[in-house]
C-alpha cells in the first residue's frame, strides 16, 4: 500500500481525531478551533477557471512545495493525496471528519488533500482557491492554530509564488476572502443555552458583532447536536492576529454564557438534567437501531453530562468520537460494503454500543 | 411487633409476590391466574347494610374460623389483619399488590384482610360480601388455584354457616355473583398483539364468548403495560369446574394468538423488536425521573424481551417486580415518609435502577 493510501485508510477508519480529543482551553464548551488560510498561485487562474492541464500543474507545484517542506523538519511531514485516487465513499468520510469541504469531495479535475496522521493540518488543493490550508486545534486555541498554520504557510511560501497585492493582501477567488485569506472559527457546544431556550439570543448577539454562525456541518445544520461554528466574516483591514483575538474574545463570552446557564440549570433543575443525560446514555448504550440525527442529539446530552461532571470515568475524547461514528459514510466505511439506510441505522447502533463499552 | 403487623410490613415493603414469580403454565404470556369465591354468613345482613356491631361480629366469626383452620395444618396458616389498625398508605400498597380491592382499602367499619406470607391466599372480610376469598397463582394454573381456594373454603365452612340456597347456590350481595360465587380470571401480557394492533380484535372475540376484559388495575386501566385481566361474567348455572375450564380454554387461545404474533414479529421485524426492548432496558437502568405510567410501559417492553429470549440472564420474577416498584404507594412506603409527585418520580427511578442492578 502506498504511504498516501495507508494514511488515508487510517484516517477514514478511525473515529478519533486528535483535534477533537477534549484537550485545550474551555474544552467543556469549545470543541475545537480552526484557522484557514486561502492562497493562490500568482501565475495560474483561479481553480474554477483552470483547464485540466493547468489544474494538474497547480497540483504538481503544491506537491513539490510540500515535499520540500517535509525535508525541513520544522513542522511534522504532510502527505499529498490526489483525490482522483480516493473512492467516493472515502471522500465523504473525509467530509464527515472535517478534512474536506463537501464541494471538494465532488469528483473534479486536479483536486488533492494534503494532511498528516494527526489530522490537525490539512491543505485542500484546487478547492475554491489553489491552496486552502487549515489547522484544527482541540479547545479554544486559535492563537496556536494560527501560529501553526502560518508556519506551514511560510514554508510553502518559500517555494510557491502566492498572489499577493501590497494594498489588498492575498488575492482569492472569492472577494470575501481577499486580504488575510483567513477564516478563523470555533466550534462550540451549547446544550444548556439550548435547554434554556437562550441560544437564539446569544447567537444573534454574536451575529451583530460581525461574526457568522453556522451549524456542525456548515450552513443548514444549525442546532444539530447543539453545536455551532462561529467564524469571522471580514478578512480585510485587520491583521490575522486581530481577527483571531476578536473571535477569541467573543468565544469567551459565549463560553461564559453557556457556563452560567449550566450552573443555573444544575442548581435549579439538577434532577431534570441528570435524567436527560442518563437517559441519553442508556439509549446510546442499548439501542439496536439509531439514526444519525438521534445519535448526534443523544451525543449532545451525554456530552453535557461529561461537561457538568454528571458522567464520570468517561473522557471527552471518547464521547466526541460518537460524533464521527454517527455519520452515515463513516458507518458505511466501517462495514466494508454498501448498506441500506436500515442496515446503516442498525450498524450505527452497534458501533456506538461497542465504542461506549470501551470508553 | 404483633405477628399481623410483622406479616403486613413484610408484604408492603417487598416488591416480590410469589404469585408473580414467573413460574407456572404459559408463563411467557400469562402472568397469573386468580380464583375468587364470594361467601356470606346466613345470619347476618350483607355488609353494606351492617351496623358497626354486626360488622364487628362478622369479623369475629371469620377470625375464629381462620383460627380453627390454622389448627388443622391442612393448609398453610393465615393471619387475620383488622384494617382499622393498618395505615392508609399500607392499605394502598395492598391494593397495588392486588391483595385488597380499592373499595376495601377505604376507611370503614369492620374490615379485615386475612392472608399469609406467600400472598397467594387472601380473604377480604366485609368487602361487598362478608367473605371474599381469593387464591392467586403464577402462570395459568386456575385448576390448582380453584382447588386451593375450595380447600380453604371447605375449612371455613366447617365453622361458618354460609348462606346457601339449594336452587340458587351461594347468596351474594350483588346478584351477579349468586351461584358459585366464583370469579376466575387470568392476567395476560399481550405486547406483540398490541404492537401488531391486533389486541382489540382478539379481546373483542373474548368478549363475545361471554368473558369480561379489564386492565391491570381493573376497569379503566385497559392497555396499561399491555396487561389484561380476562374473567368469567356468569357465576350461575355452571359448576366451578366448568367455569374454570372454559376460561382456561379461552386463555389458551389468547396465549396462542400472542405467541403466533410474537413469532411473526421476531421473524419479520426482529431488529425493531430488539431495539424496542433494549431501549426500554437502557432507560429503566439509567433514568433519574420516572412516572408510574412510563415505568409500566417500559416494563412491558422489557418483559417482551425476556419472553422472547432477547434479554438473557434475567428471570421473569425480577422483571415482574418492576410492576410493583412502579406503583406510587409502594414507592412512598419504601421511602418511609411522604413524597411530592416529583420526589416520587425521582425515587421510583432510583428503586428501579437499584432493582435491575440486582437481577
pTM: 0.92
Instruction: Please indicate, yes or no, whether residues B196 and B213 belong to a single structural domain of this protein.
Output: yes
pLDDT digits (tens, 9 = 90+) for A261-282: 999 999 999 999 999 999 999 9
Average pLDDT, chain B: 94
Sign of the CA dihedral running B153, B154, B155, B159 = positive
Give the closest of A275, A289, A346 to B288, CB-based.
A275
Instruction: Please indicate, yes or no, whether residues B150 and B295 belong to a single structural domain of this protein.
Output: no
| Separation between Cα atoms, residue B349 and residue B295, nearest integer Å | 8
Q: Are A9 and A79 in contact (CB under 8 A)?
A: no
The whole-number average pLDDT for the span A117-144 is: 96
pLDDT digits (tens, 9 = 90+) for A302-335: 999 999 999 988 889 999 999 999 999 999 999 9
Domain boundary, last residue among A219, A243, A263: A263
Q: What is the CATH number of the domain that holds B91?
A: 3.30.590.10
Instruction: Please indicate, yes or no, whether residues A195 and A232 belong to a single structural domain of this protein.
Output: yes
pLDDT at A118: 95
Instruction: Please indicate, yes or no, whether residues B81 and B191 belong to a single structural domain of this protein.
Output: yes
Is the pLDDT score of A109 beyond 80?
Answer: no
Question: What ipTM did this prediction achieve?
Answer: 0.91
Q: Are A296 and A224 in contact (CB under 8 A)?
A: yes
Is the pLDDT score of A121 beyond 80?
Answer: yes
Between helix A3-13 and helix A88-96 the angle, nearest 10°, is 60
pLDDT digits (tens, 9 = 90+) for A10-66: 999 999 999 999 999 999 999 999 999 999 999 999 999 999 999 999 999 999 999
> Confidence class of residue B109 from pLDDT cuts 50, 70 and 90?
confident
pLDDT at A139: 95
Q: Any chain B CB within 8 A of the CB of A281?
A: yes
| Separation between Cα atoms, residue B173 and residue B185, nearest integer Å | 20
The whole-number average pLDDT for the span B83-103 is: 95
> Confidence class of residue B221 from pLDDT cuts 50, 70 and 90?
confident
Q: Any chain B CB within 8 A of the CB of A354?
A: no
Buried b (16+ CB within 10 A) or exposed e, B122-161: bbbbbbbbbbbbbbbbbbbbbbbbbebbbebbebbeeebe
Give the closest of A275, A278, A289 to B272, CB-based.
A289
When scoring A266, A280, A283 by the number of chain B Cβ atoms within 10 A, the one with the most, hence best to mutate, is A283
Q: Any chain A CB within 8 A of the CB of B354?
A: no
Is the pLDDT score of B41 beyond 80?
Answer: yes
Q: Are A121 and A99 in contact (CB under 8 A)?
A: no
CB contact under 8 A, A275 and B349: yes
Instruction: Please indicate, yes or no, whether residues A298 and A259 belong to a single structural domain of this protein.
Output: no
Name the residue of chain A whose CA is nearest to B273's CA.
A288
Q: Is B245 buried (19+), middle (13-18) or exposed (0-12) by CB count in 10 A?
A: middle
Average pLDDT, chain A: 94
Give the closest of A281, A289, A346 to B286, CB-based.
A281
pLDDT at A219: 79
Q: Which residues in A lie closer than 8 A to residue B346 (C-beta atoms)?
A: 271
The whole-number average pLDDT for the span A79-102 is: 95
pLDDT at B74: 81
Domain boundary, last residue among B221, B245, B263: B263
> Confidence class of residue B30 from pLDDT cuts 50, 70 and 90?
very high
Q: Are A289 and A346 in contact (CB under 8 A)?
A: yes
Shortest CA distance to B152 belongs to which of B133, B129, B178, B172? B133
Instruction: Please indicate, yes or no, whether residues A315 and A331 belong to a single structural domain of this protein.
Output: yes
pLDDT at B303: 96
Q: Is B8 buried (19+), middle (13-18) or exposed (0-12) by CB count in 10 A?
A: buried
H helices within chain A, ranges in order?
3-13, 52-70, 88-96, 142-157, 191-195, 199-208, 240-268, 270-284, 292-307, 316-325, 328-335, 341-358
Task: Find the domain containing B325 and state its range.
Answer: 269-358
pLDDT at B348: 98
Instruction: Please indicate, yes or no, whether residues B123 and B253 belong to a single structural domain of this protein.
Output: yes
pLDDT at A232: 94
Is the pLDDT score of A359 beyond 90?
Answer: no
A221 vs B187 pLDDT, higher one: B187
Instruction: Please indicate, yes or no, whether residues A259 and A312 belong to a single structural domain of this protein.
Output: no
Give the closest of A272, A279, A346 to B286, CB-based.
A279
Q: Which residues in A lie closer than 8 A to residue B283 (C-beta atoms)?
A: 279, 282-283, 286
By three-state DSSP, how is residue B70 classified?
helix
Instruction: Please indicate, yes or no, whether residues A259 and A323 belong to a single structural domain of this protein.
Output: no
pLDDT digits (tens, 9 = 90+) for B174-214: 999 999 999 999 999 999 999 999 999 999 999 999 999 99
CB contact under 8 A, B289 and A272: yes
By three-state DSSP, how is residue B287 classified?
coil
Q: Nearest 10 degrees: CA dihedral of B29, B34, B35, B40?
A: -150
Strands B121-125, B131-138: pairing is antiparallel
Instruction: Please indicate, yes or no, whether residues B244 and B309 belong to a single structural domain of this protein.
Output: no
Is the pLDDT score of A235 beyond 90?
Answer: no
The grid coordinates of residue B230 equal 380476562
Instruction: Please indicate, yes or no, whether residues B142 and B26 belong to a single structural domain of this protein.
Output: yes
pLDDT at A207: 94
Q: Which residues in B lie closer than 8 A to residue A278 (C-beta atoms)?
A: 286-288
- Our count of domains for chain A comes to 2
pLDDT digits (tens, 9 = 90+) for B113-162: 999 999 999 999 999 999 999 999 999 999 999 999 999 999 999 999 99
Q: Phi and psi of B187, rounded to 5°? A: -105, 115
The whole-number average pLDDT for the span B320-336 is: 95
Lowest-pLDDT range of B211-220, B289-298, B349-358: B211-220
Instruction: Please indicate, yes or no, whether residues A200 and A273 belong to a single structural domain of this protein.
Output: no
CA atoms within 13 A on the CB side of A274: 17
A123 beta partners: A114, A133
Domain boundary, last residue among A263, A283, A300: A263
Q: Are A45 and A173 in contact (CB under 8 A)?
A: no
Q: Which residues in A lie closer than 8 A to residue B275 (C-beta atoms)?
A: 287-289, 349
Amino acid at each position: 500500500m502506498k504511504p498516501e493510501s495507508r494514511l488515508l485508510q487510517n484516517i477514514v477508519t478511525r473515529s478519533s481525531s486528535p483535534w477533537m480529543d477534549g484537550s485545550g482551553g474551555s474544552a467543556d464548551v469549545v470543541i475545537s478551533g480552526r484557522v484557514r488560510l486561502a492562497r493562490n498561485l500568482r501565475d495560474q487562474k483561479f481553480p474554477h477557471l483552470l483547464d485540466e492541464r493547468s489544474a494538474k500543474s497547480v497540483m504538481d507545484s503544491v506537491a513539490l512545495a510540500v515535499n520540500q517542506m517535509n525535508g525541513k523538519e520544522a513542522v511534522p511531514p504532510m502527505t499529498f493525496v490526489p483525490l482522483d485516487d480516493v473512492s467516493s465513499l472515502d471522500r465523504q468520510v473525509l467530509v464527515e471528519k472535517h478534512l474536506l469541504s463537501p464541494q471538494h469531495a465532488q469528483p473534479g479535475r486536479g483536486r488533492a488533500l494534503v494532511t498528516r496522521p494527526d489530522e490537525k493540518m490539512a491543505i485542500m488543493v484546487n478547492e475554491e482557491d489553489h491552496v486552502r490550508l487549515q489547522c484544527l486545534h482541540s479547545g479554544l486555541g486559535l492563537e496556536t492554530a494560527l501560529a501553526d498554520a502560518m508556519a506551514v504557510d511560510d514554508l510553502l511560501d518559500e517555494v510557491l509564488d502566492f498572489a499577493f497585492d501590497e494594498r489588498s493582501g492575498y488575492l482569492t477567488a472569492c472577494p470575501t476572502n481577499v486580504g488575510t485569506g483567513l477564516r478563523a472559527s470555533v466550534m462550540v457546544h451549547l446544550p444548556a443555552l439550548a435547554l434554556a431556550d437562550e441560544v437564539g439570543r446569544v447567537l444573534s448577539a454574536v451575529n451583530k458583532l460581525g461574526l457568522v454562525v453556522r451549524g456542525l456541518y456548515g450552513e443548514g445544520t444549525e442546532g444539530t447536536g447543539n453545536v455551532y461554528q462561529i467564524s469571522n466574516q471580514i478578512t480585510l483591514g485587520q491583521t490575522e492576529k486581530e481577527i483571531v483575538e476578536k473571535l477569541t474574545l467573543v468565544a469567551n463570552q459565549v463560553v461564559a454564557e453557556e457556563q452560567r446557564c449550566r450552573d443555573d440549570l444544575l442548581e435549579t433543575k439538577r434532577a431534570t438534567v441528570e435524567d436527560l443525560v442518563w437517559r441519553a446514555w442508556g439509549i446510546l448504550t442499548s439501542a439496536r437501531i439509531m439514526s444519525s440525527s438521534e445519535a448526534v442529539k443523544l451525543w449532545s446530552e451525554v456530552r453535557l453530562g461529561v461537561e457538568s461532571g454528571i458522567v464520570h470515568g468517561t473522557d471527552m475524547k471518547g464521547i466526541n468520537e460518537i460524533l464521527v461514528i454517527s455519520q452515515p459514510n463513516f458507518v458505511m466505511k466501517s462495514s466494508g460494503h454498501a448498506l441500506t439506510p436500515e442496515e446503516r441505522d442498525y450498524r450505527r447502533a452497534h458501533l456506538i454500543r461497542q465504542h461506549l463499552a470501551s470508553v
